[in-house]
Every structure is written in structure tokens, then in C-alpha cells.
Structure 1
């Protein structure tokens, strides 16, 4: 049986991250690590069983992510959040709890097992930072390096595209596509999708020119990454849900 991160497991990761007050970076890093763990299980000799219980492996991935992103959380808090999600009707475990003590031992031992499964590779390059830096550069490059006449309008335009690109990048993380392509290319493809959704024109003569400047790649490669994303994710639905949530209506960047 092929081991893939299920929708319930992805939802579990999101809920746990929210309860732990983690940033997008920490949540996304933990999610990528979990996808890597699932990939390792698929190469294991016994594909019918995980090395670790599902909830333990998920919380361990988040625990490692808090260390990697320098957003440390107490082991007790990690355990309590995981336990609460697994047992919604229960209360948080007190310090004196034997269950808490047992789970501490399990988490400590499981961390080494997880690290070995990941090949001690916990470095994750996320597309989110590339989205921010690329759009910031594009906003000024569009005006040939000169401050725009209507700074407020440009800010609104950039934020609208950034918000849509960001939510697409989140879906890329959840779908396990981050390790499939370089983060910079994924970011460019997310921006390309977002700009197209908002009727935005690339601030360049052609896609090839834009891709070369901002993704250090070719337009054909960006199109391929975009195709990968759109084949794996229901992009229109994700964007529609995002627009409804934020009360945004797609419109042209040239709209006054």
C-alpha cells in the first residue's frame, strides 16, 4: 500500500500548528518533513506499517520544524496539543500524568527514528519567501526603478497578487510538491497563476524575459511547474475560497 499524507493528516498538522501558534514557515516546514517521512515509509521493506504511530510522527515533524525555524515549543506543549487533537473530549495532561511521562519517552526515542528516516535532512526551502521578494522587486521594476505615482494603488495590487500566490503556495506545501521543484520556480509559478487570475500582465515583454529575470529559468520551465501545480491542485477552488474568505473580487491591476 502506497503511503501518502491523507487529508485528515494534513488537517491535523494545520490544527496542531494553529494551537501551537506557529508561523506559516514552521507549519509548512513540518508539513514538508511529514511528506518526506511518508516517502521514506514507501521505500521501507514493510510498506504496510509505519515506523512510528501516525500522530507521533506528525507531532515529531512539527517538533523538528519548531527547532529548524527557531520557533521553539516545549515538549510538553507538543505532546498536549497532539493528545488533545487525538482525544478531543479529554483535558490537557498535567505534569504529574503518567501518560505525559510515557509520551515524553516515546517522543524522545521517536525523534531519532524520524531523523534517520529523513536522512538527517531537515532543511526545507519554501516558496513563500521567494514570492515576497519577487513581488517586491517586480513592483519597482515595473516602473523602471522609479516610485509609482499611486503608491497606495500599487500596494493594493501587489498585496492582492501576493495573497493569492501565497494561498496557492500553501496548497503546494500540503500536496507535497515542495521537493519536486526548486522553491524559486514554484514561487514564480504561483505568482504567474495569481497574476493570471487577477487579469494582471507580466511586467516584461514576454514570459521568457520575466522568467529569466525573476526565476533564473525559462518560460517553458515555469509553464511546466505551473502545469504540475494545476494538475495536482484544484487551483480555481482554492482561489475562490480565499477570495470569499477575504472578500476579494478578482479584477485588473489597471482598475482605478
Structure 2
């Protein structure tokens, strides 16, 4: 079973194998016993289709650099995830980003000279294989309804990624992004603010300066709602800081919010 081409694997993925009915005819997919694969990850890639749901639970910011991407912050320091419980599982009653729900599957190109994408999985995840219990992947050489639903989920994720790319291109075109910086003080350390940098956010001043025509266009194409979901979510930075502080995971008084590239 040859691995798919993988010059640089995405976050979480250690290996990729193309799923096929020949090699995996009797394989099943089980459930993750815990969230160890993301326990040390503080920033999760997000698509624009998730902004409204995600902004209720996480600050939404953008990665630094020339090609920014939206991310949901689950912690304010690299290696810190405040949403993993003592049992090693994600806490309940929060929105789980699609990037997490997709794992260990992924659509990938098997041939660099072709745009065709195949459903692959990460064998190191430990949930796909020959096992007694789980969702069956193939029956009589054909993909099961479960496998078809996984493929459809991954396909929709890729489509959402394209919409996200277009959204970011428009933000760059309008020059609405700026380098972000958040300073938070604790009651017991009023003279030593915790400063977080290393991310980008929408510049509210530039947003207010947009022409009426541009604002109308942003309203019509839905971008204005997405921008404000991002801005509203920034109020959760302090909430996230307090969560991290309560868990004893505050790292330094001059911290940097590392982002996912």
C-alpha cells in the first residue's frame, strides 16, 4: 500500500494512504478514545462557513505572513489547548471545527500532474484498520454509505476552503488586515500585562472608512457578516486567557500567539 505524495503534511497528519477497496476491503473505522492528537495544538484552521458557529466559543484570528488563513484559538500559547478535559477528551457543548472532525481522512492528489483528488487517511491515527467493531468501509467491493458520507464531507471541506481563499483575497484587496496585538492584565499582576502577538485581524478603523458602495457589496456577498463574526469573537480573548490562567497554563508575561501556517 503506497503512501500518497506528501511533500508537507497538514497539521495532525503523520502519513497518508489512499483508501481503496482492494487493500481495505475488510477494514473498519473506530472512534477516537481521546483527543491526544490535538492536545498540544492551540490553533485550528477554520473555514468561513464556520465563522458564525465558531465565534461563540473561540477567538477567530488570521495567521501572519503573506497568505493569511483563519484559525480558531483553543489556547493563547503554542502547545496549550484549554479545551481538553482531564479525561483527555474535548469538552462537550462547544463547536468542533470541521478540520478536527475530518481527521484522519483527507482528500489529496495522488498525481502531481492531475487535479483529481482521492480519499486518503492517516494510518498513524490508529482508528482505521482491521478491527472487530466500527464503521465498515467497503461491502462487496463498493464503498458503504459511511465511506460515501466521509468522502462528501471532505469534498465539502475542500469547497469551503476555496470560499475561504476568496474571502481572504478580498480582505487583502481591501487592505483590511493589520498585525494584531492583545494586552491582558490579571488582577494580581496589574503592572505586568500579558501581551499576545503573531496574528492578524481586521482593522476596524479601515472598515469604517470603506465607501458606502463597498459596504453594500460586502453586505450582499455575505462578507460583512463574516468580518463582524471575527470581530465579535475577539471579545473571547480575555475569556480564553482566563481559562488558561485557571488551568495554570499561562506561559510568560510577554507571550506570542503562534499561528498555524
TM exceeding 0.5: no
Q: What TM-score results when the alignment is normalised by the length of structure 2? A: 0.31
User: Whose helix proportion is higher, 1 or 2?
Assistant: 1
Q: What TM-score results when the alignment is normalised by the length of structure 1? A: 0.32
